[in-house]
Structure 1
Amino acid sequence: MTAITFETLEKGTEIGACQIPVTRADLVAYAGASGDFNPIHWNERFANAVGLPGVIAHGMFTMGVAIQLVTNWVGDAGAIVDYQTRFSKPVPVPDAEGESSPASGGNVISVAGKIGALDQENRTARVDLTVTAPDAQGKEQKVLMKAQALVQLA
């Protein structure tokens, strides 16, 4: 794999895209790792009772899996010096038994990235991410807004 260098980049260049499957098991594992055991992330009845369409992914889980595209592209997680986003919509994660869920259950988060800005003086690139997932009715929606990573390049 060829190393990414500042000189090879242009504003608007796409860095790639990926799809990340998310299951209820992923949410349980994340809850254990993060300590966030809020029942909206694992209990269907509770999530419905508070007005949600069902169990939803943790916001930080969604943010964390989205940045993996940038990490894979640059090849060094340490090169990411800043990462920010706004949470705009929840990611519903249907149970495998649910009628509207895929055969394997869960949902799929789609991530695409492109170079949004270059700073010659600091040799940084801002990567803008588009992060979407189907809502409870299956309509694709943006789940993160203004998702941007700042990458320090050689």
Structure 2
Amino acid sequence: MTDIPTYLVTNAALDRLPLFATDLEIAVAIVGKQHASHWKKMMLPALEAHGFPRFDHAHFGRSVHLVKLFYTALHVPQAETVHYRVAAVRSEENRRAVEKNWEDYQRAKAEKKARAKANAEEWKERKRKALEDFRAKKAAQREAEVRSNDGE
């Protein structure tokens, strides 16, 4: 059985953060003020694809503890936190799959609505044309009746 490290990869800046911190606070704690904006824009999306903790809307930030676990798993591969990374990547894949399904559903719903509207416009035009034809036919019949009555 392997020894599980009881430490986490951390630093004083991460230790001073609250349980949940904003992306900017985490970026400053990890790479410093000078590189924080670059890390946030360029590195964060790449790290999220590899299991970096997701933003928790209920707490308005990311779990600092999970950030520490992520970096421990990244830099200490023998640590059991590797399971955290695998689970995080799977949950991210599941979330993306659900979002994709939702987008597909919304797109299909919008297309169906557009088709229904187009069909309604087409049906309205057919109905108008049929009504005009009916009125023209009735007018022609009345005119024929009037001529036949005048001819008698």
TM-score (normalised: structure 1) = 0.24
> Which is greater in Rg?
2
Higher helix share: 2
Higher strand share: 1
More RCO (CA 8 Å, sep 6+): 1
TM-score (normalised: structure 2) = 0.24
